[in-house]
Amino acid sequence: MSHIVAPSILAADFANIQRDVEMVNESSAQWLHIDIMDGVFVPNISFGMPVLKAMTKHSDKVNDVHLMIVDPDRYISTFKACGADVLTVHYEACTHLHRTIQAIKGEGMKAGVALNPHTPVRLLEDILGDLDLVCLMSVNPGFGGQGFIENTYNKIEALAEMRRQRELAFHIEIDGGVTVENAARLVDAGATVLVAGSTVFKSDTPMDTVDRLLSLEVAG
């Protein structure tokens, strides 16, 4: 499957979010990645529901909403109402993961599960057939601009092999430290969605950077 680029709005200019969402609309990116943080599951707070709803109102892309919050079940229908197309919850935050995934699908959204860097992919073995996406955190969740954790390549390869053996088609999304330098290796390992925050929004030419991530053109 061809890969997807999902610019992460967490790295945008918060004083000009509409402008940056519209830049993503004009770019060749297929998805817009939106991190929701509660200051409990991760040591940071990002966007609440009113801001999310305002962003998705202006977005022409698939709205890929990543919940880094405790007890996400309470808000599943709310996030649907706020414009989420893909809703990803953390394995580490869900006591009854299968029930949570079914609730997301019941609202008509694609369902994803995210794994922190220390969480092995084998823990998803019994639920892979129910998932549309697995998000591998390649940095510790909570803040943008962190360095890429190299063991992520091993996790991608292991998860891609599980996908192949079971003849499944879920996306493998990589979130954190994605650059034009490592994008090709990530896709070669089996990734199909690249979340890029600082790489896109801190670029002097963000739309060109999206093109490079899609073409897997390596800098230099």
CB-based contacts of 112, cutoff 8 Å, min separation 6: 66, 86, 87, 88, 89, 131, 132, 133, 134, 135, 171, 173
Burial of 7 (0-12, 13-18, 19+ CB in 10 A): buried
C-alpha torsion sign, points 76, 81, 86, 90: negative
Task: Give the position of tokens 């706020």.
Answer: 82
Decide if 35 is catalytic. Answer: yes
Indicate which residue of 64, 73, 175, 204 is catalytic: 175
Set out the domains of the chain in order of their start, with CATH numbers: 4-215 (3.20.20.70)
* Mean pLDDT of each 10-residue bin along the chain, 220 residues long: 92 95 98 96 91 96 97 97 98 97 98 97 97 96 76 98 98 96 96 96 97 80
Indicate which residue of 13, 20, 35, 132 is catalytic: 35
DSSP string, 139-199: S-TT-SSPPPPTTHHHHHHHHHHHHHHTT---EEEEESS--TTTHHHHHHHT--EEEESHH
Query: In the prediction, which pLDDT does 143 show?
Result: 64
Count CB neighbours of 129 within 10 A: 10
Query: In the prediction, which pLDDT does 220 show?
Result: 45
Decide if 175 is catalytic. Answer: yes
Query: In the prediction, which pLDDT does 140 show?
Result: 87
Query: In the prediction, which pLDDT does 81 show?
Result: 98
